[in-house]
Amino acid sequence: MSLLKVENLDVSFVLSDSTVQAVNGVSFELERGRTLGFVGESGSGKSVTAQAIMGLVAGENVELTGSVWFDGNAIDYEDEKSLRSIRGQEIAMVFQDPLSSLHPFYKVGDQIAESYLVHHTGAKKAEALEEAVKVMTEVGIPSPKTRINDYPHQFSGGMRQRIMIAMALINRPKLLIADEPTTALDVTVQAQILQLLKRLQKENNMAIILITHDFGVVSEVCDDVIVMYAGKAVETASADEIFKSPEHPYTKGLLDSLVGNQDMDSELIPIPGTPPSAADLPSGCSFAPRCTWANKDGMPCDSKAPALVETSSHHSSACFLPASGRSKLLERKSAK
Amino acid sequence: MASGNLSQGALAWSRFKRDRVGKASLTIALVIVLLAAFSPIILGILNLDAYTFYKDTLDPNTAGLPKGIGGISLTHPFGVEPGTGRDILARLLTGMQLSLLIAIVATTITMAIGVVIGLIAGYFRGIVDKFISTGIDLMLAFPVLLLILSLSNPLTQRLVSLGIPEGNPARVTYIILVLSFFGWTVIARVIRGQVISIREKEFVEASISMGAGPFRIMFRQILPNLWAPITIYGSLTLPSYVATEATLAFLGVGVLPPTPTWGAMLADSVSFFRVVPSYLFFPGLTLFAVVLAFNLLGDSIRDALDPKSIR
């Protein structure tokens, strides 16, 4: 049985004059000890998906449908109390910018201890601080016994992110959601944090959802990948597969626009255009307006949205034209 | 940056120390508070009493007007009351104790109510916020002074029937209650606005993702960020309450004679203004100095806490 199962997750924000479809029918499963990467541009719905799983998107103007099972139980998003016992205890989150996610007025030791105290009613402060020192050692903060008395601004960016991770880890969650955990850090520190996450995952047999827009990060740590575009999962595959044989034209475009995937003197190939507004999605395939293959060969790209279908084992793509079809089209073109 | 590792408080203090008006007003405010706190001891040393009739200071030929200029002498530096001969300095100091007590207690209650209601309105938003905000608007629309004056007798009676001793305790309680009851609205509005912006900060989101409940978030995460507005509004509310209390006493809502308060002294002195101007002058000047010192102190605290202020 998988640890997390998400089925047909829909999140939309109802505004006074329009409805923003942020997440559109996303389904996936995640096993213990595995890492799932969510990749996509800003506004593709990857963060909202993760937040929705934790019940962090709520309010009068939010419509949330679909079901989420965690550890065999369906999560009830109406029940704030049970949600609170899941947050931090079963599923924990690490945010992008550790400086603004840490409270500037409290010592880091107290903040880490607090997330322990929230879920251990009746625990003594001293016991919580002991746990904090323990988990700070695990995440590699030197001399944690003295550093628990420092404030967030007295740490470097990488150390701050380690503190956020310590905070998330203190209750030994089964699932860690890392929302762009390395985006605010410089490259050398990024690698350290990713290695740290990998080590902690192994030690705690924890599942990780990693949200990123960086394929480099994906190749480093992810087992499986979901590529998101305009609120939809457009391609799901193992990380190796994605790099070896991308199916969806969007994934292909993303990989082509990466530095290092071309010959030394050829230029980067950007994806033309900009992502559509989530309030005003195209009627057919959301990617069609930017796709070089759109409507070729009589495909209904502008009128029908392609479903996510399996193209090979554990590899699905939402495109009318499989990668093999594309090469055939190319051949035909060059033959003419 | 030179101030890299200073805490917020240390930074504010270093800015405050450069502010001469702030230092002066802080000194005066401290002196005032100390004078009020130790007024019985000071009066003991001066060998004065607020309730004694110093009959020898009065001129029997003028039906009780003080001798000389307002009866000012070495033993009675601020002069004496016409008619009774009570020492004005002693009555000012004794009255100050009560004035400050009322102002400090009322300010504390006002801030507490205002902060809690502001936190609730700003944090929960939606219908709770609408309800509270409308309530505040309604309360601000009341003619407060008229209400305080007209409710004075019935409500004081009610307090007595609730077990508060009749006379001054009940009257002081009434003043504190009405000041707090009508005062919290402004604080609640300010706090609500601050909370609305702070609750969207990422550390609040992080705290929610750790499973913290609404009260932990309100009082542990958001409240510490409100200390600047709380300090500023507290230090500005205090002098306004000193002045309001004096106004109420002037209008007859306040402690019973012979207990002295500044407002009652001012009200009394008006009828003697032409013959004994010192009786009006000293209470008026003291009230003015106290309110001004606390107000300037409040301004300086605001400047010190605001990193963007240039002075």
Q: Which structural domains are found in chain B, ordered by start?
A: 16-305 (1.10.3720.10)
**Residue-level pLDDT at B71:** 67
CA distance B210 to chain A (A): 4
Nearest chain A residue to B226 by CA distance is A105
The pair of three-digit structure tokens given for residue B42, joined into one six-digit string: 């000071």
Other CB atoms within 10 Å distance of the CB of residue A86 = 23
Beta-sheet strand order (sheet of A207-212): A91-94, A175-179, A207-212, A35-39, A224-229, A232-238, A315-317, A309-312
Task: Check CB contact under 8 Å for A88 and B210.
Answer: yes
Other CB atoms within 10 Å distance of the CB of residue A217 = 23
At B288, the amino acid letter reads F
Cα(A266)–Cα(A264) distance, integer angstroms: 6
Residue in A84, A95, A114 nearest the CB of B213: A84
CA distance B214 to chain A (A): 10
**Beta bridge pairs of residue A207:** A175
Low-confidence ranges of chain B (pLDDT < 50): 1-3, 311
Angle made by CA atoms B42, B39, B263, in degrees to the nearest 5: 135
A216: closest CA among A190, A235, A237? A190
CA distance B227 to chain A (A): 11
Contacts of A95 in chain B (CB under 8 A): 202, 205-206, 209
Q: How many beta-carbon pairs under 8 angstroms link A with B?
A: 65
Map tokens 């044989």 to a residue: A245
Kindly state the DSSP code that residue B222 receives in the 8-state scheme: I
Burial code of B117-155, b = ≥16 C-beta within 10 A, e = fewer? Answer: bbbbbbbbbeeebeebeeebeebeeeebeeebeeebeeb
In sequence order, the 6+-apart residues with CB closer than 8 A to the CB of A211 are: A37, A38, A46, A47, A50, A177, A178, A179, A180
Q: What is the pLDDT of residues A27-57, one digit of tens each?
A: 999 999 999 999 988 888 888 999 999 888 8
Residue in A60, A102, A119 nearest the CB of B211: A119
Residue in A87, A153, A154 nearest the CB of B210: A87
Residue in B5, B209, B225 nearest the CB of A87: B209
Q: What is the pLDDT of residues B96-145, one digit of tens each?
A: 888 888 999 999 999 999 999 999 999 988 899 999 999 999 988 888 88
Interface probe for A, chosen from B123, B203, B225 (most Cβ of A below 10 Å), is B203
Q: Quick check: B158 contacting A, CB < 8 Å?
A: no
CA distance A316 to chain B (A): 31
Contacts of A84 in chain B (CB under 8 A): 211-213
The pair of three-digit structure tokens given for residue A3, joined into one six-digit string: 């640890």
Task: Check CB contact under 8 Å for B206 and A56.
Answer: no
CA distance B3 to chain A (A): 12
* Burial bucket for residue B49 (CB in 10 Å: 0-12, 13-18, 19+): middle
**Residue-level pLDDT at B311:** 46
Contacts of B12 in chain A (CB under 8 A): none
pLDDT along chain A (336 residues), means of 10: 90 88 91 92 88 85 90 88 89 88 89 90 91 91 91 89 91 92 84 90 92 88 92 91 89 82 72 83 87 82 86 87 77 69
* Burial bucket for residue B161 (CB in 10 Å: 0-12, 13-18, 19+): exposed
Predicted model pTM: 0.74
The stretches of chain A forming alpha helices (DSSP H) are: 46-53, 80-86, 98-101, 108-119, 125-138, 144-147, 157-169, 187-204, 215-221, 239-244, 249-256, 323-335
Cα(A185)–Cα(A257) distance, integer angstroms: 22
Q: Quick check: B207 contacting A, CB < 8 Å?
A: yes
The pair of three-digit structure tokens given for residue B54, joined into one six-digit string: 């110093």
Task: Check CB contact under 8 Å for B126 and A60.
Answer: yes
Q: How many CA atoms lie within 13 A of B174 on its CB side?
A: 28
